């Protein structure tokens, strides 16, 4: 053997030893964690943790960011960034085009009725009267529900939790918990059990899809009536007001004062028997605190992580979303809410560490979507933005002209159900060629309206009659022929609807713009090496990566890639 070749082999052997020393012990299917803890923070925009990072304690966001693999450029790649859409994407690794949850609501083509995403009349609530009370429900998505039943049946593909159940022959314990029913149901999948907070009853409930009766521990938890303990109390600032970034911005004209909750601190919840009491709890950190307490009880009583079979728990925290809608992401309320959420996360992780050990737990934190700043806040910084009123579109002169041109009597546009516009039944009854011509003409006119960036008909999407742009690709990932409306509408950046059937909000999400798609993705625990990864990833990668970590097959509709930084090389 030559001296040169011998020296080369020595160098290669040395390099191999060094690689062995520095390569971290990542998650491996050969040594699976005892618990997969998937945390989803509703409407947590990707920049928000870093915005307040210096104010956080040691055990919550800081633990995850300093002990985890942090992806700094993670985005949802679909166009309609709403709650059930994002949650189901994280759960399945599929785009809405495949998993079918194209929006929080859609219109049933056969009945003409608005469908709430997880409603299912076949599976009633286990707690009588625990369904949505339209008189007190502020969430327009929830108010669309017509039946007191819930199930994951409308999700068209499998979730990671489904695949874990199949992989373990049903031995894995699988649960989803959230204030929002759609936040719990989507993550628990078809094979798990979901619990959510009922504003009507003030309890955590489920449906007969999952259980025939409540376990004793759930009844005991509900009998404690923790929600009523907030009665006659108020949401107060955690720290002196002058220490906050938005400490001098406590009263903004665009903020929503709902039922006496006010626009300034402290925000009173009112008496426990008040009409809006439980709703106001969810508009504050109290909603996350109740979710935490129930999740801890579930961990203890269901014995998650007690054996070598990996279990799964999804906890979706909803207060960030509700606070963002009422006050905006750049508000004193949202700032305080996130500081309090940090404490909630720290308590949850400490409890998991005590019961199971974080070294035996694979944690992934992300969000279902981000959120835009309010037009008022943006305008104060000379950034353009405003509100859109689709209800006025059918009366616009351009649409009136199209009615005459195509001989349409009455309405041309029947309704707008975000993000889709639906044509009137008269248009729907026309032949394909004439209907396509009308939809193309309406879309062209809509694109000229103030606040509208793009309007494209579903027929154009289905038949490929469209330009190939990133924006349209995002719309295509949201397109399902059986559930999508007639024309997909994208508003200009920082323009959106703020009036929902008489409820005026400060801010709302649902666009393909980066403030709505940008979310955190962090994997931590279970031997993961702390690191910052700055390459672009998509949220469809999360479920694929979890499947690879546990050695399950990918969820049936998954299109994402495995995040190699999380796995053993």
pLDDT value for 144: 62
Q: Which pLDDT tens digit goes with each residue over 12-52?
A: 444 333 333 333 345 666 678 999 999 999 999 999 999 99
Q: Is 124 left (phi over 0), alpha (psi -120 to 50) or beta?
A: beta
Q: Which pLDDT tens digit goes with each residue over 77-114?
A: 999 999 999 999 999 999 999 999 999 999 987 788 89
Lowest mean pLDDT among 138-142, 296-300, 376-380, 524-528: 138-142
Ranges in the chain annotated CATH 3.40.720.10: 35-379+519-566
User: Per-residue confidence at 503, pLDDT binned at 50, 70, 90?
Assistant: confident
Angle at 190 between CA 526 and CA 559, to 5 degrees: 65
Q: Which pLDDT tens digit goes with each residue over 167-196?
A: 999 999 999 999 999 999 999 999 999 999
**Three-state DSSP class for residue 190:** coil
Q: Which residue did the predictor score with more confidence, 109 or 398? A: 398
Query: Which is it for the CA torsion 340, 344, 350, 354, positive or negative?
Result: positive
Residues whose CB falls within 8 Å of the CB of residue 462, separated by 6 or more in sequence, listed in order: 479, 481
CA 147 to chain centre: 23
Ranges in the chain annotated CATH 3.30.1360.150: 389-449+452-491
Q: What six digits make up the tokens of 414?
A: 């029947």
Distance CA 91, CA 495 (A): 29
pLDDT value for 432: 84
pLDDT value for 141: 62
User: Per-residue confidence at 461, pLDDT binned at 50, 70, 90?
Assistant: very high
Q: Which of 420, 428, 547 is nearest to 90 (CA)?
A: 547
pLDDT value for 28: 61
Do 107 and 78 contact (CB within 8 A), yes or no?
no
Provide the residue count of the chain: 569
Q: Which of 302, 86, 319, 60 is nearest to 187 (CA)?
A: 86
pLDDT value for 132: 67
For the segment 543-558, the average pLDDT, to the nearest whole number, is 98
DSSP state of 556: T
Q: Which residue did the predictor score with more confidence, 378 or 111? A: 378
pLDDT value for 142: 59
| Fold of the CATH domain 389-449+452-491 | Gyrase A; domain 2 (3.30.1360)
User: Per-residue confidence at 128, pLDDT binned at 50, 70, 90?
Assistant: confident
Q: Phi and psi of 535, rounded to 5°?
A: -75, 155
pLDDT value for 87: 98
Q: What six digits make up the tokens of 72?
A: 């700094």
Has residue 215 got a pLDDT over 70? yes
Distance CA 438, CA 430 (A): 10
First to last CA, the chain: 32
Distance CA 369, CA 87 (A): 9
pTM of the model: 0.93
Q: What six digits make up the tokens of 3?
A: 């001296």
What CATH code would you report for 35-379+519-566?
A: 3.40.720.10
For the segment 533-542, the average pLDDT, to the nearest whole number, is 98
Has residue 137 got a pLDDT over 90? no
Q: Which of 536, 489, 535 is nearest to 512 (CA)?
A: 489
Distance CA 271, CA 231 (A): 5
Residues whose CB falls within 8 Å of the CB of residue 216, separated by 6 or more in sequence, listed in order: none
pLDDT value for 430: 87
Distance CA 64, CA 520 (A): 11
Residue 73: its H or E element: strand 68-75
pLDDT value for 135: 46
pLDDT value for 2: 46
Q: How far is CA 387 from CA 189, 249, 390, 436, in A?
A: 36, 21, 10, 29
What integer best gives the mean pLDDT of the chain?
92
Has residue 499 got a pLDDT over 90? no
pLDDT value for 23: 38
DSSP state of 374: P
The long-range contacts involving 45-49, CB below 8 angstroms and separated by at least 24 positions, are 45/329, 45/367, 45/370, 45/371, 45/515, 45/518, 45/519, 46/72, 46/74, 46/367, 46/370, 46/518, 46/519, 46/520, 47/518, 48/329, 48/334, 48/338, 49/338, 49/520
User: Per-residue confidence at 458, pLDDT binned at 50, 70, 90?
Assistant: very high
- Beta strands, E only, 403-494: 413-417, 420-423, 452-457, 487-491
Distance CA 445, CA 405 (A): 13
Residues whose CB falls within 8 Å of the CB of residue 415, separated by 6 or more in sequence, listed in order: 107, 421, 422
Angle at 363 between CA 44 and CA 550, to 5 degrees: 130
pLDDT value for 295: 98
Distance CA 303, CA 356 (A): 10
Q: What six digits make up the tokens of 501?
A: 């059937």
Q: How far is CA 525 from CA 277, 316, 358, 566, in A?
A: 37, 19, 5, 10
Do 237 and 220 contact (CB within 8 A), yes or no?
no
């Amino acid at each position: 053997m030559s001296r040169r070749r011998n020296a080369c082999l020595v160098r290669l052997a040395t390099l191999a030893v060094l690689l062995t020393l520095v390569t971290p012990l990542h998650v491996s299917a050969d040594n699976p964690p005892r618990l997969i803890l998937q945390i989803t923070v509703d409407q947590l925009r990707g920049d928000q943790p870093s915005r307040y990072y210096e104010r956080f304690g040691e055990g919550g966001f800081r633990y995850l960011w300093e002990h985890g693999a942090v992806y700094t450029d993670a985005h949802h790649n679909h166009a309609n960034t709403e709650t059930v859409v994002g949650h189901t994407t994280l759960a399945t690794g599929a785009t809405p085009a495949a998993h079918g949850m194209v929006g929080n609501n859609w219109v049933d083509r056969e009945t003409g009725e608005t469908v709430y995403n997880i409603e299912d009349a076949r599976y009633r609530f286990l707690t009588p009267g625990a369904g949505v009370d339209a008189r007190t429900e502020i969430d327009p998505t929830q108010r669309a529900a017509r039946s007191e039943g819930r199930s994951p049946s409308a999700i068209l593909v499998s979730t990671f939790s489904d695949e874990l159940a199949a992989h373990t022959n049903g031995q894995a314990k699988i649960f989803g918990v959230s204030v929002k029913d759609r936040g719990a149901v989507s993550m628990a999948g078809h094979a798990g059990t979901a619990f959510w907070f009922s504003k009507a009853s003030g309890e955590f409930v489920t449906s007969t899809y999952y259980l025939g009766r409540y376990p004793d521990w759930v009844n005991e938890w509900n009998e404690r009536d923790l929600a009523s303990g907030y009665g006659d109390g108020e949401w107060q600032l955690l720290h002196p007001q002058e220490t906050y970034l938005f400490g001098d911005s406590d009263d903004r004209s665009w903020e929503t004062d709902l039922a006496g909750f006010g626009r300034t601190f402290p925000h009173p919840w009112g008496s426990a028997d008040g009409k809006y009491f439980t709703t106001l709890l969810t508009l504050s950190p109290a909603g996350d605190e109740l979710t935490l307490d129930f999740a801890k009880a579930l961990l203890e009583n269901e014995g998650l992580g007690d054996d070598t079979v990996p279990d799964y728990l999804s906890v979706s925290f909803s207060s960030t979303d509700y606070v963002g809608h009422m006050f905006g992401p750049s508000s004193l309320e949202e700032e305080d809410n996130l500081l309090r959420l940090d404490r909630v996360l720290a308590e949850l992780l400490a409890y998991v560490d005590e019961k199971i050990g974080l070294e035996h737990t694979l944690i992934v934190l992300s969000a279902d979507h981000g959120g835009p700043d309010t037009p008022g806040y943006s305008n104060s910084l000379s950034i353009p933005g405003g509100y859109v009123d689709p209800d006025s579109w059918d009366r616009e002169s351009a649409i009136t002209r199209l009615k005459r041109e195509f001989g349409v009597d009455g309405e041309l546009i029947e309704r707008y159900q975000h993000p889709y516009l639906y044509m009137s039944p008269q248009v729907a009854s026309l032949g394909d060629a004439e209907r396509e011509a009308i939809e193309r003409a309406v879309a062209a006119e809509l694109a000229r309206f103030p606040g509208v960036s793009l309007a494209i008909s579903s027929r154009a999407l289905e038949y490929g009659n469209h330009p190939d742009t990133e924006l349209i690709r995002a719309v295509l990932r949201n397109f399902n022929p059986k559930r999508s409306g007639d024309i997909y509408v994208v508003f200009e950046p920082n323009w959106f609807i703020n009036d929902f059937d008489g409820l005026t909000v400060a801010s709302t999400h649902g666009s393909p713009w980066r403030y709505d798609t940008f979310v955190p993705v962090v994997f931590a625990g279970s031997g993961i090496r702390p690191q910052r990864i700055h390459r672009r990833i998509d949220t469809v990668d999360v479920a694929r990566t979890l499947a690879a970590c546990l050695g399950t097959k990918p969820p049936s509709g998954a299109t994402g890639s495995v995040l190699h930084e999380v796995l053993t090389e």
